[in-house]
């Protein structure tokens, strides 16, 4: 601010240079809350130091924070956006006595330049507020901002350093603006046909109160972009959003059921194969048993009341089969006695005894 302009301001009773339509002048905020204020400056001061000054007049205000880059000091943060010729001041933990501030630029070999704004800090609900000071949209699409108020006055939607829309519709930097003021203590601002030219700071205006809102516009991401872009800004791989946890759980459950059913069938088949040879062995053992009838041979010369006949029990071998270890594999032969007529006993000869041989065919295991 030049010296002659400062003198003019003092003589007219004004406390700073401001334009209610294109720059921030009076912002309501709740006590203990925070607020971000955008400050315009001339592009020739691009590399100059920017700072926040607190006080009723610019000449005796106190430097709250003076930085050249994004940095913080206590509850105040100053950030310089050189490409937009705007620096922002974020003030946290506000108190009721925090009212008068100056957006200031350090001028080398001259008086510093400053722009005044006032904070209306209240313990209750502010007279004008938005849910979020930052809102984003995509190129070609639209966004809506809701401005809540409890004070009287004209409704406006202004772009910082540009023009304002005061009626129901208008355009700012090629972006169509529509204002719906039919709500109770709220008006809605719609911006359609967004472009990169729509980026910047805007002001909800109701009477003498203003609320800064920053609009950011980006290219809408596509499915292909999300699939091929695997790294974030920090170089870390982002997780693909295409994984459906519910589908994964269903697939795993089906696989588990299939495995259980297959295992059950396999066990049943194995038991069936084990039981079949056992029953076959019993049947085969019965079929392999060979019986022989023992017949007595008549004696003509023996003089005994009874003759004892002997029978020999044997086992007959069979190829590729063995005996099963069961009771049916044991063959018994009965000894039968017969009575004969009393005749004169003669000396027994070997040929007088009949032998019977019984064989059991062998069975392989």
Condensed to tens digits (0 to 9), the pLDDT of residues 273-294 reads 777 655 554 444 444 544 545 4
- Is residue 357 a part of any domain in this protein? yes
pLDDT at 355 over 50: yes
**Same domain as 95, residue 140:** no
**Same domain as 135, residue 117:** no
- Is residue 279 a part of any domain in this protein? no
Residues 28/122, Cβ–Cβ less than 8 Å = yes
pLDDT at 5: 34
Burial class (CB in 10 A: 0-12, 13-18, 19+), 188: middle
**Same domain as 138, residue 98:** no
What is the Cα–Cα distance from 9 to 22, expressed in whole angstroms?
19
- Is residue 227 a part of any domain in this protein? no
Stated pTM of the model: 0.55
- Is residue 278 a part of any domain in this protein? no
What is the Cα–Cα distance from 202 to 281, expressed in whole angstroms?
98
- Is residue 349 a part of any domain in this protein? yes
pLDDT at 297 over 70: no
pLDDT at 90 over 80: yes
Q: Name 343's Cβ contacts closer than 8 Å, sequence gap at least 6.
A: 299, 300, 301, 302, 303
- Is residue 240 a part of any domain in this protein? no
Domain final residue, candidates 191, 218, 245: 218
Please report which confidence band the pLDDT of residue 270 belongs to, taking 50, 70 and 90 as the band edges. confident
**Same domain as 151, residue 96:** no
- Is residue 247 a part of any domain in this protein? no
Q: Classify the C-alpha dihedral 165-86-52-130 as positive or negative.
A: positive
Weakest-pLDDT range from 54-58, 171-175, 244-248, 305-309: 305-309
- pLDDT: is 170 or 69 the higher one? 170
Domain final residue, candidates 169, 186, 218: 218
**Structural domain of 144:** 128-218
**Same domain as 139, residue 99:** no
Tokens of 113: 């330049």
**Same domain as 101, residue 7:** yes
What is the tally of structural domains in the chain? 3
pLDDT at 349: 53
Domain final residue, candidates 122, 143, 163: 122
- Is residue 241 a part of any domain in this protein? no
Please report which confidence band the pLDDT of residue 356 belongs to, taking 50, 70 and 90 as the band edges. low
**Same domain as 297, residue 353:** yes
What is the Cα–Cα distance from 150 to 146, expressed in whole angstroms?
13
């Amino acid at each position: 601010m030049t010296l002659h302009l400062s003198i003019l301001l003092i003589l007219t009773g004004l406390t700073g240079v401001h334009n209610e339509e294109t720059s921030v002048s009076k912002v309501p905020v709740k006590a203990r809350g925070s607020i971000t204020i955008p400050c315009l400056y001339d592009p020739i001061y691009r590399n100059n130091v920017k700072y926040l000054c607190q006080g009723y007049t610019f000449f005796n205000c106190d430097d709250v924070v003076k930085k050249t880059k994004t940095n913080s000091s206590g509850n105040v943060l100053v950030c310089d956006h050189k490409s937009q010729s705007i620096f922002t001041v974020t003030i946290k933990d506000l108190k009721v006595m925090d009212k008068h501030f100056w957006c200031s630029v350090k001028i080398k070999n001259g008086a510093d330049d400053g722009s005044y704004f006032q904070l209306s800090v209240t313990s209750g609900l502010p007279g004008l507020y938005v849910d979020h000071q930052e809102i984003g949209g995509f190129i070609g699409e639209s966004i809506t901002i809701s401005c809540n108020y409890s004070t009287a006055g004209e409704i406006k939607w202004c772009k910082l350093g540009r023009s304002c829309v005061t009626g129901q519709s208008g355009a700012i930097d090629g972006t169509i603006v529509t204002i719906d003021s039919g709500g109770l203590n709220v008006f809605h601002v719609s911006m359609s046909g967004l472009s990169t030219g729509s980026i910047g700071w805007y002001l909800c205006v109701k009477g003498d109160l203003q609320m800064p809102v920053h609009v950011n516009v980006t290219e809408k991401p596509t499915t292909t972009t999300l699939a091929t872009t695997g790294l974030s800004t920090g170089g870390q791989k982002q997780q693909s959003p295409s994984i459906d946890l519910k589908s994964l759980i269903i697939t795993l459950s089906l696989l588990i059921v299939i495995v259980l059913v297959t295992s059950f069938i396999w066990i049943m088949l194995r038991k069936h194969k084990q039981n079949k040879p056992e029953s076959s062995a019993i049947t085969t053992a019965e079929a392999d048993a060979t019986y022989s009838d023992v017949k007595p041979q008549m004696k003509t010369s023996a003089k005994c009341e009874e003759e004892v006949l002997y029978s020999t029990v044997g086992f007959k071998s069979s190829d590729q089969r063995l005996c099963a270890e069961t009771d049916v594999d044991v063959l018994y032969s009965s000894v039968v006695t017969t009575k004969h007529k009393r005749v004169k006993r003669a000396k027994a000869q070997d040929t007088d005894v009949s032998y019977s041989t019984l064989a059991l065919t062998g069975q392989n295991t």
